[in-house]
Structure formats: structure tokens, C-alpha cells
Structure 1
Amino acid sequence: MKVKVISRSTDEFTRERSNDLQRVFRNFDPSLRTQEKAVEYVRALNAAKMEKIFARPFVGAMDGHIDSVSCMAKNPNHLKGIFSGSMDGGMLLLCCLVTVNIRLWDIASRRTICQFPGHQGAVRGLTASTDGRILVSCGTDCTVRLWNVPLATGMESDDSSDNSAKQLAAYVWKNAFWAVDHQCDGNLFATAGAQVDIWDHNRSQPVNSFEWGKDTVISVRFNPGEPNVLATSASDRSIAIYDLRMSSPTTKLIMRTRTNSISWNPMEPMNFTAFLLLEILDNVWWWSTVLLLHDIVIGGSAFCLHFGIAIYMDNGQANEDCSCYSYDARKLDEAKCVHKDHVSAVMDIDYSPTGREFVTGSYDRTIRIFQYNGGHSREIYHTKRMQRVFCVKFSCDGSYVISGSDDTNLRLWKANASEQLGVLLPRERKNHEYREAVKNRYKHLPEVKRIVRHRHLPKPIFKASALRRIMIDAERKKDERRRAHSAPGSIPRESIRKKRIIKEIE
């Protein structure tokens, strides 16, 4: 008689230690799992909901300035370091002259490491050398100052009075400066003002100057891949590209509206993104006029610089373009992508070190994160106390976003709102990866897509977005009717990627 017995090894199902996980046996035969797609869909739906539940992007605020934060710069030599400059230079406070308007912060502890006193006016530009040892600052007091950046070995408190940095040099010029940027590889840096000036660390006079037109240059940015190429934007609605190896500018792009800032893509150095500031329309009601005037009243004399802008908007003749445009420097006759969502002027822009996304700060008191090829933002950050955002930066590792606003504070945000901070266990990491994978697999389905894309907006921004959609639809219908009652071909259709470009000059 033949008897069949069940023979198995205890090593296959027995734990070696009591705290080990129980081994689970699975059969991956598709015929035994008829509800596989349905189960994965439910998991994707739950993953999207849990992402919303755990979305806590705000990390903390850094307080210390007594006026609006106007500019920031990253410290290449210190992952946790960030420089900030404000408009409090030379302010008379309690019968003493306050000139501490540049600070070096430690992001981890959110405390001031070092202060850089010296400017007698608003600081408009900050940049650090490639090795992070020299900080270059410029402002409305017509001076360029070079500072020795101390090593961030010890943490100083905000109340410390002996943590001031040493000034290496101060170069006085005949015009005010609006921006500065350092060469990625070399000892040269460029300033923007009445013209574009190229400076060397060891010379008190510019080694080269470029001038194309008589209008003020308001921003300058060196190319991260080609150290001799830089891009500027001016108040005459132009974007110009310069090459330091040539005696004259190379290309100039005339836009319909003014470009306030430029940022190059670090992974695709031939591409850059810019945004347009103002567009003149007829009989347009501006939703935030009262809000802007209210901010100016509570801010006092420190905000008098923006008073003229608010009065101009109060006339009902101005509307913001509110969009960012990505260009290829080799083909400037058409934008590669148009990034929309802001309802007011975009004030600053910065790319992530990965080059896959960028962050923008706007006059509508919000921060948005865009994909480099996305037409709409994937994330929006806002708080009740945060006012108009003047500068934004990605951290050196791309994990955080730092913003500087009109309420004198720097704020630290997570680049991924639902990201878990701290050390993750292997099981937690695998769980996060699985949730992200299953969510991306079913992100095209309506319910998952709705949950992932939905964002709660402040009431003024929600109303302004609805009003802007009505205005755009009305303009589109008007063009269609005008085209229908005109001769065929007399009114050509114009692409939105070419609509803001007037001409290209070489």
C-alpha cells in the first residue's frame, strides 16, 4: 500500500527570531485573481486620498528682517545655507540707523548664522561665488560689495551682535543696481542697472560693459552650462542674450509685456524660462486693488515704493499677464511652453537642481510649482499671513522651497507637500514607492485625476481665476466673430506661443 504524505521543511515557513515578519505565500496565477484591476484601482484611489490627508507643506518661518525680503541666493558650499536681502538698509528706527539688511540663514535650525551690515539702501541682488566663499551684493545705494562668507561650523543666535561678516571690497558706481549674478566657472560677475556691467573680484571698475537701448536692465542670469553666456531682461520689454567673447550683444527679443526675471534650466542649459509682468487692456476691473492699497496702509512708509503701482491699477486700465514662458535660446521666435495659473504678476522664478520643475512667487501672495513642460501648476502654497512674494528659491538638494515675502519673513516649504520627513524604514520606503507607482498607473482615470489635481484656493484667488476665465473666453469669442465677418485670411489665427513676441533682433 502506497501512502502519500505532506513533506515540507520547517525552514520555509518558520521565523528565525520572534520579531521577524511572518512569511506570506502567494499564488500569482491570474485566474485566481479576477479582481486584480479593481483592487489596484481602489489602492490608487486610497493613495491619492492619503496624499491629500498627509499634505503639510509648510515647515517653518524665519523672522529677522524689518522690511520686505527683496532677494535671495543659495550658498553652494553649504547645503543648509541661504542668503537673504531686504529693503531695510538705512532705515531710521528708534533714533538709530539700521543697516543690517543681508543675513545668512541655517535652514535646519531656521536661525541666523551671520549678518552683513553695510548697504545704505535696499538690497536688490545677491549671488555667491562657485566655491561659496565670496558673497556679492548690490543695491540702490550705487555700490557693489564683496563679503567673506564664514564657514558654517557653529550656530549663532539671532541676538548675537558679534556675528557680522567681514567686507572684502566695496565698489561705488554712478548708477543704482537692480540685479547681480555670478559666473558659474570663473571670477566674473554681472550687474544689471543702466547697463550690463561685467566685474572682476580684484578690480574696482567693470572689465566690460554692454548697452543695447537706453532703458534699465532689471535682471541678469548667467548660463549654467556656458559660463560666457548670459541673459537679461529690461524695462523696454526686451530679453537679450550676451556672449562675453563678443564685443556686442548677440540676440534681442522684443515682447509685448515686460519680463521681470529669467531662470536657466540647469539640466538643459539651452532652455530658459521667463515671465511677463503687465499687459494693458481696456475697461478691466482689477480684483485686488483694495487688497493692495490695504497692505500699503498697514505697511506704512516702508511700502511706499509700490504705491504708484497700486494707484495705476486703481485706474482700471491694467491687467496681469500672469504667465511664464519657456524658450530655447537657439530658437526664440516661439515659446516651447506656456505655464499658466497665477492671477497676478509673477515676481521671481527658480529651477530645481533636477531641471524637471521650477517654482514661482507671485504678487497674488501664492507660490506655485510647475513641471518644466507642464502648462499648469502641480502645487500651490499659501498662508493667511504671507503677503506678496518677491523671491523664491529651491534648496540645493531640491527637497525644499524657500520664499521671501512682503511681511519680512522667509518661509520654508516642502517641495513635495506629503513627503514624510526623517529617516524611513525599508518597509515605509517600499510602501511609499508602491503607492506612488499605483497612483501613476491610474492617474488618467477621472476620480483619481480629480483628487490629485484639486487644490483649495483662497477666496480672492478663486474669484480672480473665474473672472480671468470669463475675460479670456470673451476675448476668444470676439476674435471668432471678427474673423467670421472678415475676408477669409485677413485675420490669421495666432498661436499663444507666438502671441507675446513682437520681433527678434540679431
Structure 2
Amino acid sequence: MKVKVISRSANDYIRETNHDIHKVNRNYDPSLHPFALNREYKRALNSVKLDRIFAKPFIGSLDGHSDSVQKLTKHPKKVGVLFSAACNGEIKLWNLTNHHCMRTIKAHNGIVRNVCIPNHGNYCFSVDDNQNIKQWDLSFLNDNIMEMDSDLQLSLQCTEEVPINTIVAKNPIYYMDNNRHKPMFLTCGQGVDLWEENRTQPLRSWEWGNDTVNHIRFNPIEQDLAVAASNDRSIILYDIRKPQPARKVVLAMRSNAICWNPMEAFVFTVANEDYNLHTFDIRKFGFPLQVHKDHISAVISLDYSPTGKEFVSAGYDKTIRFFTTLGRRSHEIYHTKRMQRLTDIVWSYDNRYVISSSDEMDIRIWKANASEKLGFKAPRETNNFRYQDKLKDKFAYHPEVRRIAKHRHVPKHIFSGQKELQTIKESQDRKEANRQAHKKPDAKSKNYNFEVKKQIVREEK
């Protein structure tokens, strides 16, 4: 005869110590919890509302420049070190932990276009409009300068700097970028030149057309590839192993900045004068994968997050916007009353902060996640945040949750500009629809993607 008995293990309901949490056994059978979905929806709604309440992204500013900040550069080895280059020729090294300037270098007599740091971080290169490329020693950063007292940091800041090496180019240089894996760098101006760090003459030069090249970036993964933006509205793909540029595509308007996706070797995004950002895949170079909208003025700069899932852009409309890699619209916008036209923006290597520079000589530090809690978080608190994130993803497309998550208060000039651009777009769509409707039946295009295809004027090889 079988006898049914209740069997329990003491490990299922007894705490190991008095500091542990009481264990609660739950039966997850859906029939026993008819209101579970309603409870989760309410929690997701409350989480979205709390995100809007605690959305305070601005952390602080770095004051000290006496002229407009032109360029920001991250140190490849030290997350807490930032380089800023100004229009008066100064380069400042910042300690992001305490917002102090560690050193000021009077590097050039003109505008500093860029600062490049190799992966080892022992020295850096700077370039200006006067055809000068200078190499600066950074060995003092290896002496744990971030742990020194303020008096010693001040004494280091006041020391005179002499460049290790100076290279004078034949033509003005508007931008430069260094290779992540080789001791080489590229400069652009009247053409594109490939340099080796210990030589005073370029190894190779390229030209395609007669216009100026204003921006160039090495691929961080495929070390022999680079992409440049020219003033004739073209995007040019280079392979440093070949004597001629590889491919060229001409956009409707000029591009101001380029950034490669750090996790996908073939994907890069360009910031354009047509108020949009265009993401390309070099394997299908003839048209962009996505056109990212929401800025109401020219996009000046952009930078990808270390995860490659998002990027941040800085516009001439005094706003900072966050996009997903293939997202058409921005999901976050930062702005302040005092912030003027933005000049550059970078995403920190720890994926937590965004640093921007603007015309009013200020550098601002923002949280990458506007409502994220900084500082120590207990394990239970961390688990609760993760649970809330999962709930927000689960109910992201419910009308009320989506409305609260997307709503942003924007300045009046942004609101008016968006309405004006919406009116222009509706007029263009109406005109294109009429054009397609009144064509001959055999001339009507099928699967017509007007929004993407109209960005490309032509492709050259």
C-alpha cells in the first residue's frame, strides 16, 4: 500500500544566518496568478514615470579654456583622462575624477584640429592649420598623476613643454587620425597623406578630385581601411596598401564627421550638413543602411558607445541626441540654456558618460543614461533596476508607456524647427506621390525607397 506524505527539506525555508532573507516558495502556475500581467504593467508604468522624474543627466563642467574648444580626445589606456584642444593653440589634460586640469600645453599658434594618441599612450600628436604636426611626451601620466596631491599637480601644470618632434607638411592639414595597430597616421587637406611616426616625409599620397578633404578616420578593427569626407560632398574609402582610393560615393550635401562602429568592422556613420546622420556598410557602399533624423541643423560631430549599440551626435542646433545603431529617430535629447553651438562630443570608454564641447569655451560631462543612479548600488537594488528594465522592454509598445518614455520638453527654437521640417517633408512626400501617380504605367517604380535613395547623388569606383 502506498502512503502519500508531505516531505520538506529544511534548506528550502530555513536561513543559513540571521542576516539572510527569508526564502519564500512560489508556485508560478499562470492559473494561480490571474492578475500577474496587470501588476507587471503597473510596475512598468511606474518605472517609466520614475525615469522621467530622476532624469538629471548633467554632472558638471570643465572650466579653464580661454577660447572655443575645437576637439576632444580620450586616452586609450586611462578612462579618467581627457584631452581638449582649443582655437588658441592650447591643449589641456583633464582629470575627469575631480574635474581638475592636470596640464596645459601651448602647442600651436593657430587652431588645433586634432589630438591623436597611439594605443600605448606614451606620446601624442597634434596638428594645426599651419602645416605643423607635433609630437608630445605623455610619460608623466604613467607616474600615477591622478593620485598626486593638488600642489604637485599644479607644479606639473606650470612646467614648459617642448615637443619631441615637429613635422612640417607641404600643405595645410585639416584633420589627422592614427592607426590603432601600426605606428602610422593619416592627414587630410588638399589630399590624403600616409605618414610613419619616425619619418618627416609621407609614405604615400592620394588624390581624387580637386577639392579639400576635411575629415578622415582609420578603421579600429580592419587596420588598413580608412574613410574620408571631402568638401565636394563625397565619402571616399581608402586602403593604405593600394596606390589608389577604393571607392567613392557622393551625397547630396557635405559631411562634417565620421565614426566607425567599434564592434562591427564594416559599419560607419557620417554626420551631414543635411541635418541627418547616415550609416553605411562598406560592403554595400551605394546607399546608406539607415538615415537618422531629428536634428534641425547641421550635425557637427558624433561618437559610438564602446558596445557599438548606440551613438551620440552633437548638432549646430545646440542639442545632443542619442540614437540606436539602426534607429531612425533619437531616443534621448540633452540641452541647456547656456550651451551654445556644439563643436565635438565623445563617449567614455566605461560606457557611462558623454563629454561635449561648445563655442562658449566650456566642456560638459553628461550621464549616458539620464536616470541612472551613480555611486554604490546594493545587490538587491541592482536586481531591482534590472527587473524594471526588463519590464520596460516588455511593455515598451503599450501606448501609455511609450508616450511617457518618448515625451521630452525641448526649447522653443527646436520645437518650431521640427514643425517646419515636418511641413517640408509632407510637401516633398506629396510631390513625390503625385509624380509617381502620374507616370506612365510601365515607368512607375516598384519598392521605391525615396527617403534613402535620394541621399545619394552617384557612386564612383
Query: Percentage identity across aligned positions?
Result: 40
Alignment correspondent of 2:427: 474
Task: Tell me the secondary structure at the aligned position of residue 43 of structure 2.
Answer: helix
2:455 paired with 1:500: yes
Which residue is 2:327 aligned to? 374
Deviations 1:236-256 (A, max 9, x none): 111111111111111111111
Provide Cα deviations, 1:74-117, integer angstroms capped at 9, x if missing partner.
1102111111111123xxxxxxxxxxx11111111111122221
SS at match of 1:88: coil
Q: Give per-residue Cα distances to partners, 1:47-87, cap 9 Å, x unaligned.
A: 11111112111111011111111111111021111111111
Three-state SS of the structure 1 residue aligned to 2:62 is strand
Write the distance in 2 (CA, Å) between the matches of 1:459 and 1:111. Answer: 34
- Contact 1:114–1:164, Cα closer than 8 Å, also in 2: no
Judging changes above 3 Å, is the alpha-carbon distance between structure 1 residues 41 and 204 closer, same or farther for their aligned structure 2 residues? same
- Corresponding residue SS for 2:331: strand
User: 1:434-489: CA deviations, max 9, x gaps?
Assistant: 00011111111111111111111111101110111011101211222344444445
Distance 2:444 2:429 in 1: 13
Q: After superposition, give the CA deviation of every residue in 1:300-338 in whole Å (9 maximum; x if it has no partner).
A: xxxxxxxxxxxxxxxxxxxxx111111111211111111
Equivalent pair of 2:102/2:154 in contact (CA under 8 Å): no
2:67 pairs with 1:71: no
More divergent stretch after superposition (155-164 vs 494-503):
155-164
In structure 2, the residue matched to 1:389 is: 342
Structure 1 position 207 matched with structure 2 position 203: yes
Equivalence map 1:197-236=2 (5 Å): 197-236=193-232
Do structure 1's residue 191 and structure 2's residue 187 form an aligned pair? yes
Report the 3-state secondary structure (helix = DSSP H, G, I; strand = E; otherwise coil) of the residue aligned with 1:147: strand
Corresponding residue of 1:247: 243
How far apart are the structure 2 equivalents of 1:209 and 1:104? 32
Q: Distance in 2 between matches of 1:86 and 1:413?
A: 20
Matches within 5 A, 1:34-183: 34-89=34-89, 101-149=90-138, 150-151=140-141, 153-155=144-146, 160=155, 161-183=157-179
Corresponding residue number in structure 1 for 2:300: 347
Picking from 236, 254, 260, the partner of 1:258 is: 254
Cα displacement string for residues 324-359 of structure 1 (whole angstroms, at most 9, x for unaligned residues): 111111211111111111111000111111111111
Q: Is the 8 A contact 1:238 1:252 kept in 2?
A: yes
Aligned residue identity for 2:129: T
Say if 1:237 and 1:258, in contact at 8 Å, map to a contact too: yes
Conserved in 1, the CA contact under 8 Å of 2:92 and 2:103?
Answer: yes
1:60 & 1:165 partners in 2: Cα distance? 28
| C-alpha distance in 2 between matches for 1:500 and 1:16 | 65
The superposition leaves residues 96-145 of structure 1 with CA deviations (integer Å, 9 ceiling, x where unpaired) of xxxxx111111111111222212000111121112111211111122111
Q: Which amino acid aligns with 2:217?
A: R
Q: Specify the SS of the correspondent of 1:353.
A: coil
Q: How much has 1:234 moved relative to structure 2?
A: 0.6
Structure-2 change in CA distance of 1:478 and 1:495 (3 Å): closer
Q: Output the CA distance in 2 between the equivalents of 1:11 and 1:329.
A: 58
Aligned residues of 2:57 and 2:371 also touching (Cα < 8 A):
yes
Q: Is residue 104–residue 158 contact of structure 2 (8 Å, CA) maintained in 1?
A: no
Aligned partners of 2:255 and 2:271 also within 8 Å: yes
Find the partner of 1:458 among 411, 429, 453.
Answer: 411
Report the Cα distance in structure 2 between the residues aligned to 1:8 and 1:355, rounded to whole angstroms: 49
Check conservation: 1:115, 1:164, Cα contact below 8 A.
no
Residues 125-181 of structure 1, C-alpha deviations (whole Å, 9 max, x = no match): 121112111211111122111111131512457865524544111112232221110
For residues 322 and 60 of structure 1, the distance between their equivalents in structure 2, rounded to whole angstroms, comes to 28
Cα separation, 2, equivalents of 1:255 and 1:58: 35
Which 10-residue stretch deviates more, 153-162 or 239-248?
153-162
SS of equivalent to 1:202: coil
Distance 2:425 2:47 in 1: 35
Mapped contact 1:333–1:498 kept (Cα < 8 A)? no
Post-superposition shift, 1:273?
0.7
The match for 2:285 among 310, 328, 332 is: 332
Distance 1:27 1:491 in 2: 60
- Which amino acid in structure 1 is aligned with residue 141 of structure 2? L
Q: Give the superposition deviation at 1:23.
A: 3.6
Q: How has the CA–CA distance of structure 1 residues 51 and 207 changed in structure 2, closer, same or farther, with 3 Å as cutoff?
A: same
Partner Cα distance (1:115, 1:64) in 2: 10
Conservation of the 8 A alpha-carbon contact between 1:57 and 1:415: yes
- Residue 413 of structure 1 aligns to a residue whose secondary structure is strand
Aligned residues: 449
Q: Map Cα deviations across residues 394-413 of structure 1 (whole Å, 9 max, x no partner).
A: 11122111111111111111
Distance, in Å, in 2 between the alignment partners of 1:244 and 1:424 is: 47
> Which deviates more, 488-497 or 411-420?
488-497
Residue 402 of structure 2 aligns with which residue?
449
Letter of the structure 2 residue corresponding to residue 337 of structure 1: Q
Q: Secondary structure at the match of 2:187?
A: strand
Post-superposition Cα deviations, 1:219-239, rounded to whole Å, max 9, x if no partner, equal 000011111111101101111
- Residues in 2 aligned to 1:164 and 1:14: alpha-carbon distance in whole angstroms: 68
User: Which residue matches 1:302?
Assistant: none
Give the CA RMSD over aligned residues.
2.2
Deviates further, 356-365 or 6-15 = 6-15
Identify if the C-alpha distance between structure 1 residues 335 and 11 changes in structure 2 by more than 3 Å, giving closer, same or farther.
closer
Q: Is 1:21 matched with 2:21?
A: yes
Distance 1:6 1:131 in 2: 66
User: Do 1:402 and 1:412's aligned partners in 2 also have CA atoms closer than 8 Å?
Assistant: yes
Answer whether contact 1:324 1:340 (CA < 8 A) is retained. yes
Mapping 1:239-318, distance limit 5 Å:
239-277=235-273
Query: What is the CA distance between 1:198 and its match in structure 2?
Result: 1.2
Amino acid corresponding to residue 464 of structure 1 in structure 2: G
Contact 1:113–1:163 (Cα < 8 Å) also in 2: no
Give me the TM-score of the superposition, normalised by structure 1.
0.84
Give the TM-score of the pair, scaled to structure 2. 0.92
